[in-house]
């Protein structure tokens, strides 16, 4: 909970105003200085927190005041307590907290100042959904509960008057310090947050289940796929993490997680390929291969249509579509379906290309034998700069032993 300022709006979202924070002048209890109203501060030596708004306000409104800026509220109050300055001016909440922290008992409120600050809860910019929840909790506070908080957390007194009595003179002002103001509403907040998290968890679980179901369609149609989908999923994640370690900052945690989740959908378009071509026990004829190549565009079209009906697919559907349509493109432009070259190929497709080819080389099919790890590595190394992105190949070569472990540890169901 902090004072709301335009500068802080640049980095935080703010809730509704919880209170208007009063500003006071504090003096020693044994002070002989006659300070009963703001104008009495003229000619006095006044400590203020350096760089706070009150510093500039006093400088502009009361140039006759001798300001003594200090680096913190605590330091400014200590200067008053020890008699080095005549008074302290600042917001009452910060002063009360600092006095309790320092154990100062020889200070009192001399007068109220004509300044107020808006105290609100600051929320990280990437948590906007928390603001309306907190606003509802703030709205639910009764006047009785607010007064109870004032009595408990703002015990400073002025010549025997309780703070609540003083504040009543100036209007209904609620003083809440720290997150204590919401302790009365913890049950309500926890319930709303729990419900929100449950809903988000359900969305994630549904998304994961959908991926598995869609990928399973391709597995059912293509009898040779088996554990290929899971292995390539692991390969893509490993490659992405390796590239991030070498300067690819765009591959953040969220993008890598989405790459991992969407990798199984790279061949989803195979559900549209006729069985006699998809499961042919031998090499495809040229015209058959042209039909087989359409699995990239078929998959991308299906995912594009899904994106048109889903308003929150975002990065997930974007990467799924990229992988489906571009994992057979080649660095030199000789791939399909669009003959993209170099960095015109999405990073997701470049990662999937290496993962997919490695696993295909290492897997036994009815029309070919499985290659050894060394043979597969040699083919990918030779494809650096023509079939594959050089940077991705370098990442693969750095991880080749890990690839070998995964390949040998997760055999195709058709080979068990």
The three-class DSSP label of residue 160 is: coil
Can you read off the two tokens belonging to residue 191?
């319930």
Q: Do 358 and 399 form a contact (C-beta atoms < 8 A)?
A: no
- CATH homologous superfamily of domain 19-120+141-176? Periplasmic binding protein-like II (3.40.190.10)
Residues 6+ away with beta carbon under 8 Å from 410:
227, 230, 231
CATH pick for 222-415 out of 3.40.50.300, 2.30.31.10, 1.10.3210.10, 1.10.8.50: 1.10.3210.10
Peptide bond into 337 cis (omega under 30): yes
pLDDT per residue as tens digits for the range 218-253: 555 555 455 778 889 999 999 999 999 999 989 999
Per-residue pLDDT, 156: 43
* pLDDT class of 176 with cuts at 50, 70, 90: very low
Query: pLDDT digits over 122-168, tens only?
Result: 887 877 777 887 787 777 766 666 555 555 545 444 333 344 443 33
Mean pLDDT of 63-85: 89
Among residues 137, 140, 161, which one has the least CA distance to residue 150?
161
Average pLDDT (32-57) is: 81
Average of per-residue pLDDT values in the chain: 78
pLDDT the model gives residue 208? 59
Residues of each domain in the chain carrying CATH 1.10.3210.10:
222-415
CA dist 113 and 339 (Å) reads: 73
Q: Looking at residue 279, what is its pLDDT? A: 80
pLDDT of residue 86: 93
Q: Which segment of 4-18, 141-155, 236-250, 362-376 scores lowest on mean pLDDT? A: 141-155
Q: Would you place residue 60 in the very low, low, confident or very high pLDDT band (cuts 50, 70, 90)?
A: low
Residue 358 pLDDT greater than 90, yes or no: yes
Instruction: Find which of 6-15, 282-291, 310-319 is predicted with most confidence, using mean pLDDT.
Output: 282-291
CA distances from 124 to 1, 133, 332 (A): 12, 14, 44
And the tokens for 371? 């290659």
Taking the model in full, what pTM does it have? 0.51
Q: For residues 119 and 21, is the Cβ–Cβ distance under 8 A?
A: yes
Cβ contact 96:156 at 8 Å: yes
Token digits of residue 22: 């009063």
Q: Where in the chain is the domain with CATH 3.40.190.10?
A: 19-120+141-176
Higher pLDDT, 224 or 208: 208
Out of 23-27, 95-99, 159-163, give the one with best mean pLDDT. Answer: 23-27
Instruction: Evaluate whether 33 touches 87 at the Cβ level (below 8 Å).
Output: yes
State the pLDDT at residue 199: 57
Angle 390-409/373-382 helices, nearest 10 degrees? Answer: 170
Task: Judge whether residue 411 has pLDDT over 60.
Answer: no
Residue, of 357 and 219, whose pLDDT is higher: 357
pLDDT of residue 272: 85
Q: Are 363 and 224 in contact (CB under 8 A)?
A: yes
């Amino acid at each position: 909970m902090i004072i709301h300022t335009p500068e802080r709006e640049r980095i935080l979202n703010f809730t509704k105003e919880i209170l208007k924070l009063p500003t006071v002048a504090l003096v020693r209890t044994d002070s002989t200085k006659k300070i009963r109203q703001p104008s009495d501060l003229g000619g006095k030596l006044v400590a203020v927190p350096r760089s706070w708004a009150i510093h500039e306000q006093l400088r502009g409104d009361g140039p006759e005041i001798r300001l003594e800026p200090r680096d913190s509220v605590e330091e400014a109050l200590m200067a008053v307590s020890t008699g080095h300055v005549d008074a302290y001016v600042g917001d009452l909440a910060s002063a009360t907290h600092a006095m309790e922290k320092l154990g100062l008992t020889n200070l009192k409120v001399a007068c109220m100042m004509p300044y107020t600050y808006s105290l609100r809860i600051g929320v990280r910019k990437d948590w906007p959904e928390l603001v309306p929840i907190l606003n509802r909790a703030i709205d639910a506070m009764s006047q009785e509960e607010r007064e109870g908080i004032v009595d408990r957390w703002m015990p400073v007194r002025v010549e025997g008057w309780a703070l609540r009595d003083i504040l009543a003179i100036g209007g209904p002002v609620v003083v809440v310090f720290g997150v204590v103001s919401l302790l009365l509403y913890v049950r309500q907040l926890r319930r709303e947050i729990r419900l929100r998290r449950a809903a988000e968890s359900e969305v994630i679980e549904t998304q994961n289940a959908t991926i598995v179901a869609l990928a399973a369609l391709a597995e059912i149609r293509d009898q040779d796929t088996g554990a290929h989908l899971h292995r390539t999923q692991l390969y893509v994640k490993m490659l992405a993490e390796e590239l991030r370690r070498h300067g690819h900052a765009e591959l953040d945690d969220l993008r890598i997680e989405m790459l991992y989740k969407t990798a199984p959908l790279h061949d989803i378009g195979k559900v549209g390929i006729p069985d006699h071509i998809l499961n042919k026990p031998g090499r495809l004829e040229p015209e058959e291969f042209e039909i087989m190549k359409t699995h990239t565009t078929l998959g991308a079209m299906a995912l594009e249509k899904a994106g048109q009906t889903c308003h929150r697919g975002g990065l997930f559907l974007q990467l799924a579509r990229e992988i489906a349509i571009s994992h057979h493109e080649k660095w030199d432009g000789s791939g399909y379906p669009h003959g993209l070259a170099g960095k015109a190929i999405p990073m997701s497709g470049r990662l999937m290309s290496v993962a997919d080819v490695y696993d295909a080389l290492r897997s036994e099919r009815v029309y070919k034998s499985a290659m050894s790890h060394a043979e597969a590595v040699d083919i990918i190394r030779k494809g650096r700069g023509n079939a594959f992105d050089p940077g991705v190949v370098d990442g693969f070569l750095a991880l080749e032993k890990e690839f070998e472990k995964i390949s040998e540890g997760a055999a195709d169901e058709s080979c068990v």
